[in-house]
Amino acid sequence: MAVLPVFRWRLAPDGYATRRQLRARGLRPGGQCVAAQLERPRRRRGPLVAYLYRIDQARPVRPMTPGRWRAHAAMMRARRTCPRCRTDAGYCIPRSLGTCVPCADSGQQHAA
Ligand SMILES: [Zn+2]
């Protein structure tokens, strides 16, 4: 595997962008491999690394199709559905609780 060029933080050359910077331009890496990496030295820890992609090889973000909206809606519904009472809580089930709030509350009452 080829060694990636490493640039100092803030010294990235033109034509490279992080995934987040691509996203801000409405682009995505588009299957290209990481082209370079940025390293920011940190004290007592390994350097903070950011991966860079070539802007000229980036592709536009795929537009949302009806199928993709359906998949997105199903994912969001799954995140709102309480695994215990199987109802749509109307909000994302908090990971700290693992259930909707009423279920978590009743669980605590039973335990007490
Ligand atoms: Zn519930």
CA quadruple 15, 19, 24, 26: dihedral positive or negative? Answer: positive
Q: How far is the CA of 111 from the centre of ligand 1 (A)?
A: 16
Q: Rounded to the nearest whole angstrom, what is the distance from the C-alpha of residue 70 to the centroid of ligand 1?
A: 24
As residues whose CB is below 5 A from the ion ligand 1, the structure lists 82, 84-85, 99-100, 103
Domain ranges of the chain: 6-60, 66-111
Alpha-carbon distance 54 to 71, whole Å?
Answer: 29
Q: What percent of the chain has pLDDT over 70?
A: 94
Interval between CA 85 and ligand 1 midpoint (Å): 4
Handedness of CA 57, 63, 69, 70 (dihedral sign): negative
The residue among 54, 106, 51, 50 whose CA lies nearest residue 82 is: 106
pLDDT at 1: 55
CA of 93 to the centre of ligand 1 (A): 9
Q: Structure pTM?
A: 0.51
Distance CA 40, CA 21 (A): 17
Task: Kindly report, residue by residue over 28-83, the tens digit of the pLDDT.
Answer: 998 898 999 999 888 898 888 999 999 999 999 888 889 988 998 999 999 999 99
| pLDDT, mean over the chain | 88
